[in-house]
Structure 1
Amino acid sequence: MLPLLLFLHLYLRIPPTSSLNQEGLYLQQVKLSLSDPSASLSDWNPRHDTPCNWTGITCDPLTHSVSSVILPSASLSGPFPAFFCRLPFLSALSLPNNSINSSLPPSVSACRSLTLLDLSENLLAGPIPRTLPDMPNLKHLNLDGNSLTGEIPESFGSFRGLETLGLAGNLLTGTVPGFLSNVTSLKSLQLAYNPFRPGRLAPRLGNLSNLETLWVSQCNLWGQIPETFSRLSRLTSLDVSNNRLNGSIPTLIFRLTSLVQIELFNNSFTGEIPAGWSNLTALRNFDASMNRLVGAIPDELCELPLASLFLYENELEGVLPDSIARSPNLFEMKLFTNRLTGSLPTDLGKNSPLQILDVSENQFSGKIPPNLCGKGALVELLLIYNTFSGEIPVSLGQCWSLSRVRMRSNRLSGKVPAGFWGLPHVSLLDLRENLFSGNISHIISGAFNLSTLSISQNRFSGVIPNEIGSLRNLIEFSASGNKLSGPFPDTLVHLGLLQKLDLSKNELSGRIPTGIKSLVQLNELNLADNRLSGEIPDEIGSLSVLNYLDLSENFFSGKIPLTLQNLKLNTLNLSSNDLTGGIPPNYAKEVYRDSFVGNSGLCDDLVGLCAQKIGDKSHLWILVSMFMLAGIVFVIGVVWFVLKCRNLKKTKKAAIMSKWRSFHKLGFSEFEILDCLSEDNIIGSGASGKVYKAVLSNGEVVAVKLFARSNTDGATSASISWDKNGFEIEVETLGKIRHKNIVRLWCCCNTETSKLLVYEYMPNGSLGDLLHSSKGGLLEWPTRFRIALDAAEGLSYLHHDCVPPIVHRDVKSNNILLDGEFGAKIADFGVAKIGDAVNQEADSMSVIAGSCGYIAPEYAYTLRVNEKSDIYSFGVVILELVTGRRPIDQDFGEKGLAAWVSTTLESKGREQVLDPHLDSTYREQIFRVLDIGLLCISPLPINRPSMRRVVKLLQEARVDNEPKTATNKDGKLSPYYYEDGSDQGSVV
């Protein structure tokens, strides 16, 4: 009893656990309904009297009622909390950049005191509630960056005082609605990046007399800007980019005297740039790039106090007006890919903080202006493919702000200023294909940020300074076609990140230094046409990623290292040296013959590099006797071998047949397979073994994967386990599933001496090999699109239709095989996981799932992968199809393809990532597929669509590119029309 009495005594003395007011209790319900992994709401303590001091909460200073909830980027997730609407005096609710998901409920309109509702950059889906205009005080509504679908509700025309409407970056359909003209209080209208059906800008929108910002980029608009827009007298920003607007640039914009920004890029505007710019005294940014404009750049446009001028990728010609140099605010000018001539204004950059100058691919000539970095702000200087001449101004050698310099393919000459070599922030220095002379300065050691140094095809001379070995960030060093002399610098072996080293066609001498094996990232080594000597180092054979090796036309001597057989080379050239001895067996083939010609000491009958040399006749009888004896031994051996093999073959076939397992009705004998496993039939190889092409007696062709034997002499247990599991996993998965886009497994064999799988043969090989070879340009867009859809359907089958589901875990272009009609099929299930196995403990490091460039970012903090990881990898495959680029490329630096595409889209726009081989006729569909790929590579797995959704999106993209008559779900013909009844634009 005593302990009980003591407990009651203490309990009665404890004050109530909470005295929180009613609004605080509502917010506690909000906290309970949301997931808060970052503990952003950790100080929402129920023991407090009031929530006014909680994170994100603001209260009225007089009434102490909650007036605003502002929680940006707080990592909150869950459905929209309805309890917010019980706060009677809540005027501002801002939750941008979180993970609020599901649909936005109609009950949100119960927040009747709100003046601001910001749910941008969340995961909202479904239609926009029609009841939102019921909030009488709402002035600012921002739903940008979600996945909202359907049309903009017609009720939005009844907003009473709305000033800001943000619906950009959703999945809205319908058209840009004219009924929004009824909301005359609107100041900002943001509808960009929605897949609206093709339509014109509604003339009624010209009634929005208070409008200041109109952002309708990539809204599938066509036609011309309506004349009624001349009434938008308060408009400061007009962005109609990335549409299909046509005609000439409308002169009505000269009546919009408040304009600060005009974005017209990536449309179909034609004709000359009109006159009348002097009226736009407030204009700071003008971008009419990627149109079809012709003629000269107006002088009056250049007399404006512009901050940025973008007119690239047009057909402009004539001279750049000198008046542009008088603009006091100009910090960015991009005029590349035009036909502009003459010299750049001498005073360009003298009066303005110029940061970016890109006039590449024009016909400019004359000298580089000396004052480009006059204000010390120049970051990018891009002058490639012009005819500039003269020397680099000495002043640029003191421009510490520079980070990217490209002067390729001009007629520049003279010595490069010493300071220019050592600019500390330059990451790219491209001076190739000019007439520069002089030495590479020792000051280059100061360029510690340099990743690409390209000075090929010039007249540089002297030795390569040892200081270049201190550039630890250097990825590419190309200096071919110069007059560089002296020894190969020993310090180059310290460049651990170096991927390309091209010093060909110089006058270098001496040996390749020891320690070259430390260049572990090197994939291209070209030292051809120099005066190098000594033996080829064995260490080169340890450069595991090297695929291009050219040491031709030097004075190398000695034997060819056998370690070169460790390399997987696409190019090998050791011709025209003084090499002796034999050729490594892997290269003793006719296909490599030209790689060894011009070495008088090399002799190998397989490639016919040498003729038989017979000494004096006294030794002839010895040779004859040897041949006769060898013939006798050979005949006896053949007879003995035939007798022995008759019995052995019967035994071996019986043993193999007992281990043979088929999954389909076969039209060939199992024993034929073994006869085809010769080195001449190899068509590929990988970590698990070699793949052979087998042509059978009935004319059928199959592919045979022979799994590598486990190496019991020093192999780790992990590697042995991998071989075993890789075989068994493929049998377990491919043996059970049937789908037109999954490669067929005909049969398998598993004995103590061999493990092999027999597949259907895919004559066009893998997508990766075809796309990234010299034949990649032959893959037209319709074929690429079909491949993407086929592969998506195969993965969707694995994820959604297999019971239990299958996660591939190594989706990449090399594992997508193509049949004779370029139909795609998913292959290589060696690391796949089935059902609950996906959620088991992470595998050992010897079986890391995925390939470099395709691995989802969440793999950085967990070794577990799931179907979302497959979707990320498939997104990278889509980017490969759209860009034509490899998943890992030296042009990307440390980034992969996914990061490069995202960065390029932000800085340069969509056109800059497209494969130039693709027909622009399909541009709209290509953009749609690109968008799907970007969804798949979302950094957060929860944001990635399911494979079933990816298939649906691709099918919709296909329909949008078909003729105006198509079939509906019932198989009946369904006509497609345009808003105005015309046949222009994309299909609705």
Structure 2
Amino acid sequence: MLLDILILLLLAPALVGSSGETFNDDVLGLIVFKAGISDPESKLSSWNEDDDTPCNWFGVKCDPTSSRVTELSLSSLSLSGHINKGLLRLQFLRTLSLSNNNFSGSPNPNLGNIKTIQTIDLSRNKLSGSIPDEFFQQCVFLREISLAQNEISGPVPESLTSCSTLESVNFSSNQLSGSLPTHIWSLTELRVLDLSNNFLGGQIFEGVGNLYNLQEINLSSNRFYGNLPEDIGGCLLLETIDFSVNSLSGNIPASMGNLNMCTRLDLHGNLFTGEFPLWVGELRNLEIVDLSLNRFSGRVPNSLGNLQLLKELKLFGNQFSGGLPSSMRNCFSLTIMDVSQNELTGNFPSWVFELGLSFVWISGNKFSGSIELPPIAASYQKLQVLDLSRNAFSGGIPEGVGNFSCLQLLNMSGNSLEGAIPASIGELKSMDVLDLSNNRLNGSIPLEIGEAVLLQELRLENNFLSGKIPTQIGKCSSLSYLDLSKNNLSGPLPAAIANLTNIQDVDLSFNNLSGSLPKELTNLSHLTSFNISHNHFEGELPLGGFFNTIPPSSVSGNPSLCGSAVNHSCPSVHPKPIVLNPNSSSNSPPGSLSSNVHRKKIILSISSLIAIGAAVFIALGVVTITILNIHVRSNMSQAVISLSAGGDSHSPSPDANYGKLVMFSGDAEFVCGANSLLSKDCELGRGGFGAVYRTTLRDGRSVAIKKLTVSSLVKSQDEFEREIRQLEKARHSNLVALEGYYWTPSLQLLIYEYISNGSLYRHLHEDLEGNCLSWNHRFNVILGSAKGLAHLHQMKVIHYNLKSSNVLIDSSGEAKIGDYGLVKLLPMLDRYVVSSKIQSALGYVAPEFACRTVKITEKCDVYGFGVLVLEIVTGKKPVEYMEDDVVVLSDMVRAALDEGRVEECIDRRLHGNFPVEEAIPIIKLGLICASQVPSNRPDMGEVVNILELIRCPSEGQEELE
């Protein structure tokens, strides 16, 4: 086929018959294009070189008069290869769309020179290299060009500005660098300019006001600095303005008050100063306003009440003061409001409930007074998130709180609320997270709490609650986090706690609880912490499960507890002697010889029977256990011994009792042999998915073998292998490489490259003979982890379980992320399964895991990455249990930042040997990534850009503070 095509190409000028008929260039060009690519789904099977015309081919459209190809649309077909010169023969082509495929190589420099071309869409591929300057040198009719979401680097070519007909330019989500082309503002026909998520830098110079037709400008997530151009107000048709996540500073230009068509204004994540612009309230078409994470100050203006179309208002992370204007009750369309982490004061704005908002965050301010609920509120049927934490609210929790039938997160922690928890709290049937901690609440925990059956996180710590822990709490079957510490609770721990099969973390410390601990607690297989310190518990600690390794600090302060964890052995318990009543079994008079003899005989016979029965029972037990052990070992041998069968990389046995071993490359035999492969001596550790072992292949390579826990894994071999093959494709220098796998219905193994230098957790939190990670090493680990996670997201893989124990350090000090994508091996992707099975490390879990209706996306990983960044910089664990306190790392760092003492948070082991100009921006980045609101978190591609900006700031750029 290819030889035939080459011959056709060589002879094409001579292919004119005596009748004057010309060989169809369109057929030739498309066949050449097809020959140079891979079509795994055979979508182009209708393309036949023997056809006279391609007009009936898949993805091809022709001019009905001339029968020449005018449109080629091949999006989302899994095509790969290079875009070759065959397409240049389509001299009447107007539209070319090859988006969402796997095309690679540099963009063909001559595509833009097809004289009739109007639209080129090569977005969402794997194109690399720079954009050739020739691409735009001869464009005549080009109107739309999109190279978004590729791997293109280098500058935006100056020749772009010669395409005077351009209406839309989208180069977003690449690796472009340098400054804007000098004459870019000369493209007066431009309607859309999207250069977001790149490495572009420098100042945004004047002249943008010449773009009279501009409707959308997006330069977000780059390295631009300085002021916005004053003449931007000349773009009167602008609808979308996004300059977020840069280092822009100064005041917002007053000329922007002329942009009456604007619907979205996003300036978050910059260094803007000054007051809230009054003219914003005059832009009546605004639907989204995001000024968060800047340095704005002053009051929020009354003019905001004019924005009746406003849907989202985000002002968090500034220095706004005063109260929220009552005029905002006129913002009838508002659904999301986030004004957290400012210095706002005054009473609670009651109009919040009148508007029917869905998401409300006003945490971290100075609001005071009581919280009043109107008798009729539009929000009763709409509100999903209400966060009033870290203010100065007083009074009681309103009884009417139970009317919020859709509420999923209620956070009133860190206030001065008093009184009892209302029983109506049990009416919140959709509640996932309830946090009333750090207040002055008293009374008992209402029995109705058991009616909140979807509750996953309950935090009532640091109050004055008394009475017993209600048995009804055992009905909250979804509960994974329970903190009742630092109260005055008394009585026993109800055995119903053992019904919480999803529980991971329990803190009951610093109360007056007493009695023995229920033995059924050992059945809680997902426990990662169980703190009962400083109570009055007594008796023996449960034996088995988590309690075999419970830390002594979690049970201290209970003098009557016994067991190895408290270093206090339990007293031996002897059976009471058998006492027989002689009058009940003998007619002999008391004290007679025959009576005494008869009693001795009875006692002797009973003692003998007991001894004989015990011996028989023990013997039967030994025999039973021996048989079971032989059976289990036999099954395990059948499953494991097949690992050494055959010398191929695929095990050849078709027997169902034997497994299938697949190595993606290299040897498939293990030096230690099958019998010792999964021995205790080879074990490296255990995680949420099972144990990990180290072994050596015949070719000398060490590998790590993860023996998967099979209780919740897919049972279909085809499904298992399909998911494993997807994970094998996700190769990156910052990911632990998957080398192979092994399958039987009862045993599944994943074979990874062995990383010799241990986990990041070990380097941060365990004693390594006084060795401390240097600042440079920590920065590289953060950057490498970000790149690995960004690559996973590009491959459409969500990690779900990012934490320091899943980040490994190789021999050269590079970070490698492990345990990625294993959630795909679960039979269904359910957030509650994920939360209970995988999210075992408290502190890394994104809050949306608690909200049933919020979609789980890559932003969950971004949250965990943010916590990981703070852990690396501070050297502290995400959650630490002190003697009389629980410290949440992100809260601690955020509070330190608010108080201007963030440098105190940096790991003291560095002894000041770190650059402040890098450390503080990284801390801020970690806090942004760990934002409570998913939409406020950057993408991991943006995170990589920001990290590289922090390490390599552009010349002349202002330092990040």
CA contact (8 A) 1:560 1:581 kept: no
CA contact (8 A) 2:845 2:860 kept: no
1:132 Cα deviation (Å)? 3.2
CA contact (8 A) 2:844 2:867 kept: no
Equivalence for 1:107: 110
* 1:37–1:377 distance in 2 versus 1, CA, 3 Å: farther
Equivalence for 2:464: 459
Does residue 368 of structure 1 match 2:382?
A: no
CA contact (8 A) 1:350 1:375 kept: no
Equivalence for 1:435: 440
Counterpart amino acid of residue 387 in structure 1:
A
1:124 Cα deviation (Å)? 0.9
Could you tell me how far apart the structure 2 residues matched to 1:308 and 1:560 are?
56
Counterpart mapping for 1:662-811 below 5 A: 718-719=678-679, 722=682, 767-772=760-765, 781-782=775-776, 784-785=778-779
CA contact (8 A) 1:555 1:578 kept: no
Could you tell me how far apart the structure 1 residues matched to 2:766 and 2:844 are?
17
Equivalence for 1:903: 859
CA contact (8 A) 1:347 1:369 kept: no
Equivalence for 2:345: 341
Counterpart amino acid of residue 416 in structure 1:
I
Structure-1-length-normalised TM-score? 0.61
Equivalence for 2:412: 407
Counterpart amino acid of residue 117 in structure 2:
L
1:279 Cα deviation (Å)? 2.8
* 1:788–1:236 distance in 2 versus 1, CA, 3 Å: closer
* 1:415–1:246 distance in 2 versus 1, CA, 3 Å: same
Q: Which residue among 505, 510, 522 is the counterpart of 1:505?
A: 510
Counterpart mapping for 1:308-707 below 5 A: 308-351=312-355, 353-370=356-373, 374=379, 376-539=381-544, 546-547=550-551, 550-554=554-558, 556=560, 560-561=563-564, 574=566, 580=571
Could you tell me how far apart the structure 2 residues matched to 1:355 and 1:790 are?
37
Does residue 299 of structure 1 match 2:252?
A: no
Q: Which residue among 226, 241, 244 is the counterpart of 1:223?
A: 226
CA contact (8 A) 2:335 2:359 kept: yes
* 1:25–1:443 distance in 2 versus 1, CA, 3 Å: farther
CA contact (8 A) 2:762 2:805 kept: no
CA contact (8 A) 1:164 1:187 kept: yes
Equivalence for 2:238: 235
Equivalence for 1:637: none
Task: Provide, for residues 64-97 of structure 1, a one-character-per-residue CA deviation record: whole Å limited to 9, x for no partner.
Answer: 7654444444333222254444445543333333
Equivalence for 2:156: 152
* 1:581–1:430 distance in 2 versus 1, CA, 3 Å: same
* 1:40–1:408 distance in 2 versus 1, CA, 3 Å: farther
Structure 2 stretches of 5 or more lacking a match? 1-22, 574-671, 685-692, 703-755, 788-802, 827-838, 850-854, 874-892, 894-904, 907-914, 931-939
Q: Does the residue aligned with 1:317 lie in a helix, a strand or coil?
A: strand
Equivalence for 2:252: 249
Counterpart amino acid of residue 352 in structure 2:
L
Could you tell me how far apart the structure 2 residues matched to 1:711 and 1:91 are?
63
Could you tell me how far apart the structure 2 residues matched to 1:304 and 1:777 are?
57
1:424 Cα deviation (Å)? 3.6
Task: Provide, for residues 763-788 of structure 1, a one-character-per-residue CA deviation record: whole Å limited to 9, x for no partner.
Answer: x9975335347999997744523667
Task: Provide, for residues 410-447 of structure 1, a one-character-per-residue CA deviation record: whole Å limited to 9, x for no partner.
Answer: 12233434343353433222111123344444544454
Task: Provide, for residues 519-564 of structure 1, a one-character-per-residue CA deviation record: whole Å limited to 9, x for no partner.
Answer: 22212111223343332222256666x557622344645x525xx6
CA contact (8 A) 2:157 2:181 kept: no
Equivalence for 1:93: 96
Q: Does the residue aligned with 2:297 lie in a helix, a strand or coil?
A: strand
CA contact (8 A) 2:272 2:294 kept: yes
* 1:304–1:420 distance in 2 versus 1, CA, 3 Å: same
Q: When the two structures are aligned, how many residues end up with a matched partner?
A: 691
Equivalence for 2:952: 960
CA contact (8 A) 1:791 1:816 kept: no
Could you tell me how far apart the structure 1 residues matched to 2:430 and 2:326 are?
30
Equivalence for 2:607: none
Q: Which residue among 911, 917, 921 is the counterpart of 2:917?
A: 921
Equivalence for 1:892: 845
Could you tell me how far apart the structure 2 residues matched to 1:722 and 1:555 are?
39
Task: Provide, for residues 692-726 of structure 1, a one-character-per-residue CA deviation record: whole Å limited to 9, x for no partner.
Answer: xxxxxxxxxxxxxxxxxx999xx866327948995
Could you tell me how far apart the structure 2 residues matched to 1:31 and 1:923 are?
51
Could you tell me how far apart the structure 2 residues matched to 1:791 and 1:404 are?
30
Could you tell me how far apart the structure 2 residues matched to 1:902 and 1:339 are?
31
CA contact (8 A) 1:373 1:399 kept: no
* 1:426–1:55 distance in 2 versus 1, CA, 3 Å: farther
Could you tell me how far apart the structure 2 residues matched to 1:144 and 1:414 are?
56
Equivalence for 1:181: 185
Could you tell me how far apart the structure 2 residues matched to 1:732 and 1:506 are?
56
Could you tell me how far apart the structure 2 residues matched to 1:50 and 1:861 are?
47
CA contact (8 A) 2:523 2:545 kept: no
* 1:289–1:893 distance in 2 versus 1, CA, 3 Å: closer
Q: Does the residue aligned with 1:345 lie in a helix, a strand or coil?
A: coil
1:252 Cα deviation (Å)? 1.6
1:38 Cα deviation (Å)? 5.4
1:856 Cα deviation (Å)? 3.7
Task: Provide, for residues 900-930 of structure 1, a one-character-per-residue CA deviation record: whole Å limited to 9, x for no partner.
Answer: 9941687999899655445762169859999
Does residue 266 of structure 1 match 2:264?
A: no
Counterpart amino acid of residue 903 in structure 1:
K
Could you tell me how far apart the structure 2 residues matched to 1:152 and 1:284 are?
32
Equivalence for 2:131: 128
1:42 Cα deviation (Å)? 6.7
Could you tell me how far apart the structure 2 residues matched to 1:811 and 1:319 are?
41
Q: Does the residue aligned with 2:778 lie in a helix, a strand or coil?
A: helix
C-alpha RMSD over aligned residues: 4.9
CA contact (8 A) 2:33 2:83 kept: no
Q: Does the residue aligned with 2:110 lie in a helix, a strand or coil?
A: helix
Q: Which residue among 160, 184, 195 is the counterpart of 2:199?
A: 195
1:345 Cα deviation (Å)? 1.9
Structure-2-length-normalised TM-score? 0.62
CA contact (8 A) 2:247 2:270 kept: yes
CA contact (8 A) 1:112 1:136 kept: yes
Counterpart amino acid of residue 215 in structure 2:
E
Counterpart amino acid of residue 892 in structure 1:
V
1:340 Cα deviation (Å)? 0.7
1:490 Cα deviation (Å)? 2.1
Structure 1 stretches of 5 or more lacking a match? 1-19, 565-573, 583-709, 735-761, 794-809, 818-823, 828-849, 863-885, 935-943, 962-975
1:253 Cα deviation (Å)? 1.2
